[in-house]
Structure 1
């Protein structure tokens, strides 16, 4: 049987794969796993619960809150808030666990349930396995005054924005910024935080109706942001995803500044200020060769992990590092947050602009992106990527590219797909190598 938890919680089609009964059962099991310390010390357990703007989040949040309260947990209902805000408040309010109802950048019909442990940190595999193992298990249910209470918490946005303001070293007065909120969870907090820092803020896609989250907007569709930055003559633009744990940027010329370039900007800034722990940036194997080259030139090491923010976080905790992330714009600044935070990322980039007086385009210039081609090869046996002919083909193409490119072939973690990624000095060359390798994958690993 396939594992229920993926790389970022339990996700699926709301009311199809992810049902009320599953949400309820997950909450009951999570309550027993994550509140054991509170119960052992005879302390009333507390959980905070927040969601993004999807219409399905309303009934799923109700189911999660019911499951927690029926297990004797007092629930603080945060309403609509970004994932990083829920993580922050889990720690700030001393809660035993946090829950986020969100499918992040996925389309509106999907939803997901993400659990956070005490302190607002993501769960490790062992905790997730324990929650999954507890599904459907009969447990003693509290009665009378033993059941939990569900209490609204109307000040969550303001407290989160105040937290973000406390991370800044400079005012952003004089900067004009466009922010694309993806009709998602940061539709209120994102523009408010940027304005609080002094920027003139133009918000787009910030009036969600429950049905339009990520629909042609946000970090997965930055075209609207690029157009708006040019129309308003803005200094920069930032695009979040549905739960605002990602951030991509746009410079004043309308050029896209991806997660690798944002990480490069922040790493160079922290290193200059002597605040980049271990002179190390943590990134995944999908990060562009241009980032690796730029960091090498600056004397910054790059610790590379498997794809997925949880692996980035694990490496950051292991090495005590303060900056890590993914090309997608999921960037972790661990001195201020326990997870990726799109609004925090935007504020720190603006802080760098204010400190240096340089444009976003100039700050991003050291991280020159190599053309990258990614081909997903479906309907293949992803467990046979060690096929001798395929390995030999990769070695031959890699030798041909030499130091001027890079090849990454990996199996998808969620579907029968093998991903072939090639970077080279030109798009044509990257595409040619990728097509050749994809052809070998189709022929050798066909189901």
Structure 2
């Protein structure tokens, strides 16, 4: 059964492109300078026992890998496996209001944003948390005229937040999620086979972040119920492979962390603090420092978690400000053992939909950056940075579409970019150019 893709038709004047230089109302002003925090982010916290404490009411692995549908009280996932894979026609309302961007309806019953990941080449994997709280997955291996996406695959589990995923190498994926019991859960794919869901423990408050800096490393980052950031890493050596214990890296988070890497032995964590400011904590800020640095106050007035990308010693972060605009800050050319000075916050304009932070990807080794937002009219927009000019496109480019979630972008096949969102009906929408 085909599930039609429906977009609301907008009358003339209903769509207003985000204005790059739009000014915020005084009571919503974005505060660019760091403010003094009421707590010391770098002082050791002694109140983190709850994250590792034994609790009652936790799911068993047997339950999590095959949760009874009578408990979840939903129809089997096969009810949406007949996906509507039709590309939108040129007469659709989304196409009429788009200056670029083509759209594909991948169906689904998602709650929250989708999670795309690519391990390289033409392979693409897409994950969602369905309305039945189970994880769903579909993939595609080639993009010929006759190839198609596979059907949605039921991955079981019992979640209350969207999943996160990363890939260490070809034919490998690490999948993470926040269970309805508050624990972090993990499932791995290797050489054509999925393992079972495994409990990683913890007391998690938001959806996790996943990151890999190389073929022998993967890591998951979470915000605990008391606002601290916790980290667990997987290392593979010639002698052994496995997960280390949870490591507490402190902080006072208000929302999920974001983890990015520019290469071997480096990770940066960015987040929104409970004071509304952006905060940053690096691991391996230089080739001689394989340790966590201190939390750094980046200022700002954030309305949601930040997005980030990194390559070759550079990192860029993006956030929805309390004024509704997209804001941007850059760390360039890190070659010293101490944290360098960041650039100033840059107002990129835009008018983001409530509850939808931006997303960004670095393309082709940092030759380009593409940042995406969901506008307040539910259409998607983007800006592109070009390394040859070190400049952003002047205005937001209308990509069309109609989504209720934040955008989630992925790079694949040496420079291609796809971006996904969840429609009001729960179906996953794919935008490509």
Do the structures match in fold with TM over 0.5?
A: no
More strand by share: 2
Q: Which has the higher contact order (CA 8 A, sep 6+)?
A: 2
TM-score normalized by the length of structure 2: 0.27
